[in-house]
Structure 1
Amino acid sequence: MMVLMLAMGIVERPANAQGDLDVNAKAAILVEASTGKILYEKNSENAQGIASMTKMMTEYLLLEAVAEGKVKWDQKYTVPTKVSNMSHNDGLSNVPLREEGTYVLKDLYEAMAIESANAATMAIAEIVAGSEANFVKKMNAKAKELGLKNYKFVNSSGLNNRDLAPYVDQVVGGPEEENVMSAKDTATLAYRMLKDFPEVLETSSIPKKVFAEGTEDEVPMENWNYMLPSLIREYEGMDGLKTGTTDFAGACFTGTAERDGMRYITVVMNVEVAPGENSYDARFSETRKMMDYAFNNYSIEEMLPADYQVKGQKTLPVDKGKEKEVQIKTDAPLSMVIKNGEEDQYKPKFVLNKKKLNDDSELTAPVKKGEKVGYVTLESKDKKDLGYLTDKGTNASKASVVAVDGVEKANWFVLSMRAVGGFFGDIWNSVTSTVKGWF
């Protein structure tokens, strides 16, 4: 009877270990964008094919080069034969580029970000690094710098090397290799992109545009992110970032959406495609499921007020000070991304800065008013908290603990009297203990 009821859909199947969300993909992750707080993950640390989600790294390096003045948006690029030939391969995503034709960098960037144009991406790699091979070195170096853990880049576009080989002088890696990253690394790259170069959304949010408009090479482009407003799978607040599809990677998508001041990042990799469903609908359906879950269930709440004092730890002892202790408190409110109704699932945890303490766990005078002596964070009572993408996010969930008042260093006379008092106090305690031992 139970089997029959399950088959008919009458009885709900058990939810996964993370509650009421289950994503039909080989790997997935859901993150709050301001802090990098992980709200859901599935196989998030296993390296998977990323296909054209690769282009987020190419975008990052390009935007960084522009910011540093190494390249300019209006600089021109003359198309060599191989890049032109690539751009006319109808089996790959592209905008046509004339051999020896000249295009400005901004147009090539928009072609990459909107149309996922592979030849335009190769052109950008050459502009930034001189060659595809040199650009790949930069990609891997930047991944390491950003703290990514499970990745390997072999080209700038996300193609399989067999498709790229006819159009480059040197293939990096094996003849059948593709770029790989974990879902967590992909989300971390998106998180850093939004932090470091938020202007990326100005382009990734464009649903339709004409490439090289006003020239003989103009061609209409439509964004592969069908969840953008006005496109066929539109989703409120969606404004980025990048889709990807190859036979090896399957259907992938890194999305981001914002509503009422809350922004989330989602990654789905190698989405399961049901019979009769196409891969585009599948990746957007799973993304919609994750976004709906986030917007309906999470918010940023103030968990501790400013001037909060941890119970049982409202003061710290001070050595060699005019006062023997000092009050401590938080210097700012502590807010956190919380699932609705789970505010009571966290408890304050006070962590002292051990570098500030002597061997007896005391502060040493002088102590300045407002001096940071540690921090308070919130600890999950059930230990099921998934943590953050980066240490910077972890720091966002901390409130500094500071000294309420300053404590000056006591003069030599006071210190001497304390030492004498301590000496006789020790003798008295010893005598008292001895006498007590007689009875």
Structure 2
Amino acid sequence: MKKRTFLLKFSALLLVLSYFSGIFTASSVYAEEDILTITQNAGYQTSDFYKPKASIVIEAQTGQVLWADNPDLNWNPASIAKLMSAYLVFEAIAQGKFTLETTVKATDSDQAISQIYELSNNTIVSGVDYPVRDLLYATLVQSSNVATVMLANLVTANDEAKFIHLMNDKAKELGMTKTTFYNCSGADTASFNGYYNPVGIDQNADNVSTARDLAILSYHLLKEYPDTVTYTSPTQITIMENTPYAEVLENHNYSLPGLAYGYEGADGLKTGSSPTGGFNYAATAVRGETRLIEVILGVGDWEDQNGELQRHAFGNAIFDRAFSTYEYKQLLTKGKQTINGEELNVSQDLYGVIQKGTEPTFTLSANQITFDNGLSEVSPTITAPSAEFQYAKKLKALQNSALLKNANQKNGLSTFFVNGLLIVLGLLLMALAKLFKKEPPAGSPKKINPLVIFGVLLALVGVGLSIYTLVVGPWL
């Protein structure tokens, strides 16, 4: 009885310890994955006040998600919206509508916008021609609202509302399912004092997007227009050089190497801040073969400008976490491979993201090789990496059957040629026999010309062999 009581008490104690151990473990895992803890553990001084409302990290080649915290929260992206405007400019250039050297003549309205103190701008002078290249630098380095408007008007021949519709159409095309644009630059239309007014568009509405959607936009921007980083990576650049309108632009992306939160490999993309959106950040960095994209939304509060720097602390910390955990590399080489016990012939090299120190698990389906890394794509419109293959035995059988088929075709042609030749020779001999036929003397018995006999035999053999070839196959 005592023994039974002891066992019951011991079992109860184990259950209690297991319960609290589970709570502790779950708390530890949560703490380890919390962006604030990750950032503090990385050595950055920050607090819960600055903790981002949403964040995401994806790998730039595959679009696979390496980190996500509230990625589908609706948020005002502020000037990150300029990335969509830049996308449409690069697309128009690719379509041959204009070039980087094309100039835009500044209007009185452009000059007036550039003088609005509340907007982030560069200096624009009415009547001056500004190259598209310099306006792109102003948009993506200085975050100039007026430069963005000038580029948007170039794309649509000054149809401001049409450009907004293009932005929203492109968002749908790219799979940005929770994004709506109301202006081209991130600043609400009303703040332009009437100098920028897309007809039929709500002047007071903020653009709406999510961390996921902005990551999708950044993925496509870098994939389709990789030169984007040329315009997002300078920490400082002079536009309109060697003219009276030369101007030095400063980048607000403080994670660029050499700036306050310089991060190894960082070369873009765009910052953004507003009273309703707080401080936001879309970034990309590359190390070796691995390029990452991240989006940080809602750091701090507009009233506390420290958020402008704090967003980079969080961005750098989760970049570190992703770079230290994952890598993009070649997983299979083209050619003969043995996978899951099967001998295969792989049609191309296979690259993908994998956790460091692990080996990929491959899946063979139909004629596609895929691998499981536990990651999902940022959008269903982006397909996971795969490679085509053929089973080596089947491939050999197919090759042999093809060779046999070709051989049969060649032999068939040769056989029919010989068959036909026999028939023609037979007919020719019969014709010659008739041509040189001599009448026998009167009263003599008629004799069959040997040429006729031989000709008939040749013709019959040719016909017989032709029938055999059709029914059985080539006899050669």
Using structure 2 for the length normalisation, give the TM-score.
0.69
CA contact (8 A) 2:174 2:381 kept: no
Does residue 1:92 correspond to 2:119, yes or no? Answer: yes
Q: How does 1:353-368 map to 2 (within 5 A)?
A: none
2:383 to 386, 394, 418: 394
Residues 349 and 387 (structure 1), Cα distance of their counterparts in 2 relative to 1, 3 Å cut: same
Q: C-alpha deviations, 1:317-369, integer Å up to 9, x for none?
A: xxxxxxxxxx75544454431222444xx6332222xxxxxxxxxxxxxxxxx
CA contact (8 A) 1:309 1:330 kept: no
Amino acid at match of 1:86: I
2:188 to 148, 156, 160: 160
The Cα of 1:254 is off from its aligned counterpart by 0.6
The Cα of 1:55 is off from its aligned counterpart by 0.8
Q: How does 1:398-409 map to 2 (within 5 A)?
A: 398-404=386-392, 405-407=396-398, 408=401
Amino acid at match of 1:349: T
2:9 matched to which residue of 1?
none
Residues 125 and 332 (structure 1), Cα distance of their counterparts in 2 relative to 1, 3 Å cut: closer
Name stretches of at least 5 consecutive residues in structure 2 with no aligned partner: 1-24, 40-50, 406-476
CA contact (8 A) 2:67 2:322 kept: no
The Cα of 1:236 is off from its aligned counterpart by 1.4
2:371 to 370, 375, 378: 378
Give the 3-state SS of the residue equivalent to 1:48 in structure 2. coil
2:216 matched to which residue of 1?
188
1:38 matched to which residue of 2?
65
Q: Which whole-Å CA distance do the structure 2 matches of 1:289 and 1:209 have between them?
A: 28
Does residue 1:177 correspond to 2:166, yes or no? Answer: no
Deviates more, 1:329-338 or 1:176-185: 329-338
Residues 158 and 207 (structure 1), Cα distance of their counterparts in 2 relative to 1, 3 Å cut: same
Does residue 1:202 correspond to 2:258, yes or no? Answer: no
Give the 3-state SS of the residue equivalent to 1:152 in structure 2. coil
Residues 63 and 277 (structure 1), Cα distance of their counterparts in 2 relative to 1, 3 Å cut: closer
The alignment yields a C-alpha RMSD, in angstroms, of 2.9
Give the 3-state SS of the residue equivalent to 1:14 in structure 2. helix
2:164 to 110, 130, 136: 136
The Cα of 1:266 is off from its aligned counterpart by 0.8
The Cα of 1:248 is off from its aligned counterpart by 1.4
1:53 to 53, 77, 80: 80
Residues 277 and 66 (structure 1), Cα distance of their counterparts in 2 relative to 1, 3 Å cut: closer
Give the 3-state SS of the residue equivalent to 1:54 in structure 2. helix
Residues 399 and 103 (structure 1), Cα distance of their counterparts in 2 relative to 1, 3 Å cut: closer
The Cα of 1:210 is off from its aligned counterpart by 2.1
Amino acid at match of 1:289: A
Q: Which whole-Å CA distance do the structure 1 matches of 2:302 and 2:111 have between them?
A: 37
Q: How does 1:24-423 map to 2 (within 5 A)?
A: 24-130=51-157, 131-164=159-192, 166-272=194-300, 278-303=306-331, 307-311=336-340, 314=342, 328-332=344-348, 334-343=350-359, 347-352=361-366, 374-379=367-372, 385-390=374-379, 394-396=383-385, 398-404=386-392, 405-407=396-398, 408=401
Specify the structure having the higher radius of gyration (Cα). Answer: 2
2:30 to 12, 16, 25: 16
CA contact (8 A) 2:255 2:312 kept: yes
CA contact (8 A) 1:18 1:40 kept: no
Q: Which whole-Å CA distance do the structure 1 matches of 2:215 and 2:129 have between them?
A: 35
Q: C-alpha deviations, 1:182-227, integer Å up to 9, x for none?
A: 2111111111111111111112111112232222222221011122
Q: Which whole-Å CA distance do the structure 1 matches of 2:160 and 2:145 have between them?
A: 12
The Cα of 1:83 is off from its aligned counterpart by 2.0
The Cα of 1:172 is off from its aligned counterpart by 4.8
Structure richer in helix, relative to its length: 2
CA contact (8 A) 1:210 1:221 kept: yes
Q: C-alpha deviations, 1:242-292, integer Å up to 9, x for none?
A: 000011111111111112232111110112469987011111111111111
Structure richer in strand, relative to its length: 1
Q: Which whole-Å CA distance do the structure 2 matches of 1:53 and 1:276 have between them?
A: 20
Amino acid at match of 1:148: M
Deviates more, 1:94-103 or 1:32-41: 94-103
Give the 3-state SS of the residue equivalent to 1:151 in structure 2. coil
Q: Which whole-Å CA distance do the structure 1 matches of 2:98 and 2:302 have between them?
A: 45
Q: Which whole-Å CA distance do the structure 2 matches of 1:96 and 1:141 have between them?
A: 31
Give the 3-state SS of the residue equivalent to 2:257 in structure 1. coil
- What is the identity percentage for the equivalent residue pairs of Structure 1 and Structure 2? 30
CA contact (8 A) 2:377 2:384 kept: no
Give the 3-state SS of the residue equivalent to 1:16 in structure 2. helix
Residues 20 and 252 (structure 1), Cα distance of their counterparts in 2 relative to 1, 3 Å cut: closer
Residues 299 and 95 (structure 1), Cα distance of their counterparts in 2 relative to 1, 3 Å cut: same
CA contact (8 A) 1:204 1:239 kept: yes
CA contact (8 A) 1:271 1:279 kept: yes
CA contact (8 A) 1:139 1:153 kept: yes
CA contact (8 A) 1:273 1:282 kept: no
Amino acid at match of 2:361: K
Q: Which whole-Å CA distance do the structure 1 matches of 2:198 and 2:165 have between them?
A: 13
Name stretches of at least 5 consecutive residues in structure 1 with no aligned partner: 1-10, 315-326, 353-373, 412-439
CA contact (8 A) 2:257 2:264 kept: yes
